[in-house]
Structure 1
Amino acid sequence: MHGPFHTHHNEGGENRRTRRPGEAFRVGIGGPVGTGKTALVAALCGLLADELRIGVVTNDIYTTEDADTLRRRGVLPAERIAAVQTGCCPHTAIRDDITANLDAIEDMEQREGPLDLLLLESGGDNLTLTFSTGLIDVQLFVLDVAGGDKVPRKGGPGVTRSDLLVINKTDLAPLVGADLDVMARDSAAQRGELPVRFISLVDPAGAEPIAAWILHELAHWRADAGAVV
């Protein structure tokens, strides 16, 4: 076993995961049911797979539906898409007991060789959903416009603490009477300087702002790792 690079700390004092040479950058993607998490994962794979070796781990309560959807779409080789069946509330397997996800990651990395990026998708949950920082390096939280423009101001750890807040389905705003300016204002009030991106995945290219953010964070992560080797 190689020694760890170092342990990160977030603002709340929780330890970041121990990083080891050759491991992939891990991005957690969470949010309520139906906000477009799987569609975002598919779009990100399409945008980034030519330059990065990507793996995906999905979490569903009783099925492998999200992983099956990604395999049917052919976004990655099937061997680089794994499914965890949590059997309980989605946050349990990504925050409270992350063993099943760690096992899925280890199996994939041993089988498929070095990966650059791992996308870990949570099952749909509520505004309190967060990932253990022992599991991921950065986390996205996905809301959608169809939930109404009031959702960001309701707060919750997913809204206030995620590294990136994604507000999806902006194309639906006129249909549901949602005011994107209100959502932007309330998101800024809840998050301070933490970033927010508004997207629509009617065209998969709509995920380009998220892909660019991930590439930026990955470059920073790699530079940080190289500085302490």
Structure 2
Amino acid sequence: MHLDHKETFPERHTYSAAGPKRPDGTRRALRIGLGGPVGTGKTATVAALCRALRDELSLAVVTNDIYTREDAEFLLREAVLPAERISAVETGACPHTAIRDDISANLEAVEDLEDAVGPLDLVLVESGGDNLTATFSKGLVDAQIFVIDVAGGDDIPRKGGPGVTTSDLLVINKTDLAPYVGVDLAGMARDAKAQRGELPVAFTALTSENGVQPVSDWVRGRLADWSAGRA
């Protein structure tokens, strides 16, 4: 019996880098994705970035959860942005499917936000909790932040994975917990350097004042390049 190969192995969606222009010819918002394992502080990082940048930039957020709107509801409760600037995607499957494989739901959410509340400078797209292999399609975001935390162990940078090794910015969060969980931050920095070369690493403690500043400063730099047409 002959089997249709496409029925056995359905086509995966592939995308090239998204164009920088909207249909009206204006430059679209810079899109930055945030990924990382469950509990590392992705949503807290998004919230902190919104607080740090909302007075100087026009921004919006798209969150991804499997069957709920929990991350979006957290951002709404924290009032980090007006409700119309926060959109939730329910992936219905592993989060990476909606940020890397079939990105259509996220693309629609991003474009709807730009139509509804634009023009926007920045859209943050947060993945639901995933693993060290989580990456974003270049058709969805222009740069990726990957968040890990010290509570996961200081061996995480050594373990690598695409999120750790190839993300545009690696964030090592919850550094304030290092003394309590026996983590060597200097060792994590060395291991991250060995895995990433010249790609940047930011250490954050979001519970401290200005704890998100290393990340917000990096975002400002990416946005300056984007606005100048260099990214």
User: What TM-score results when the alignment is normalised by the length of structure 1?
Assistant: 0.91
Aligned position for 1:155: 160
- How many matched pairs? 213
1:204, distance to aligned residue in structure 2 (A): 5.4
1:22, distance to aligned residue in structure 2 (A): 3.1
For residues 111-141 of structure 1, give each alpha carbon's deviation from its aligned partner in whole angstroms, at most 9, with x where no partner exists.
1121110000000000000000110010000
For residues 164-204 of structure 1, give each alpha carbon's deviation from its aligned partner in whole angstroms, at most 9, with x where no partner exists.
00000000001000000110000000000000010101135
Where in structure 2 are the equivalents of 1:63-82 lying within 5 Å? 63-82=68-87
Secondary structure class of the residue paired with 2:229? helix
Aligned position for 2:56: 51
Aligned position for 1:135: 140
Aligned position for 1:84: 89
Paired amino acid for 1:124: G
Aligned position for 1:17: 18
**Cα distance in 1 for residues equivalent to 2:19 and 2:86:** 23
Aligned position for 1:102: 107
**Cα distance in 2 for residues equivalent to 1:225 and 1:145:** 34
Alpha carbons 1:160, 1:191 under 8 Å: kept: yes
User: What TM-score results when the alignment is normalised by the length of structure 2?
Assistant: 0.90
Aligned position for 1:3: none
Secondary structure class of the residue paired with 2:18? strand
Paired amino acid for 2:151: A
For the aligned residue pairs, the C-alpha RMSD in angstroms reads: 1.2
Paired amino acid for 1:160: T
**Cα distance in 2 for residues equivalent to 1:70 and 1:102:** 20
216-225 vs 99-108, which deviates more? 216-225
1:106, distance to aligned residue in structure 2 (A): 1.4
After TM superposition, which residue ranges in structure 1, 4 or more long, deviate above 6 angstroms? none
For residues 62-84 of structure 1, give each alpha carbon's deviation from its aligned partner in whole angstroms, at most 9, with x where no partner exists.
00000000000000000000000
Aligned position for 1:60: 65
Say which one has the larger Rg: 2
Secondary structure class of the residue paired with 2:77? helix
1:16, distance to aligned residue in structure 2 (A): 2.1
**Cα distance in 2 for residues equivalent to 1:53 and 1:203:** 25
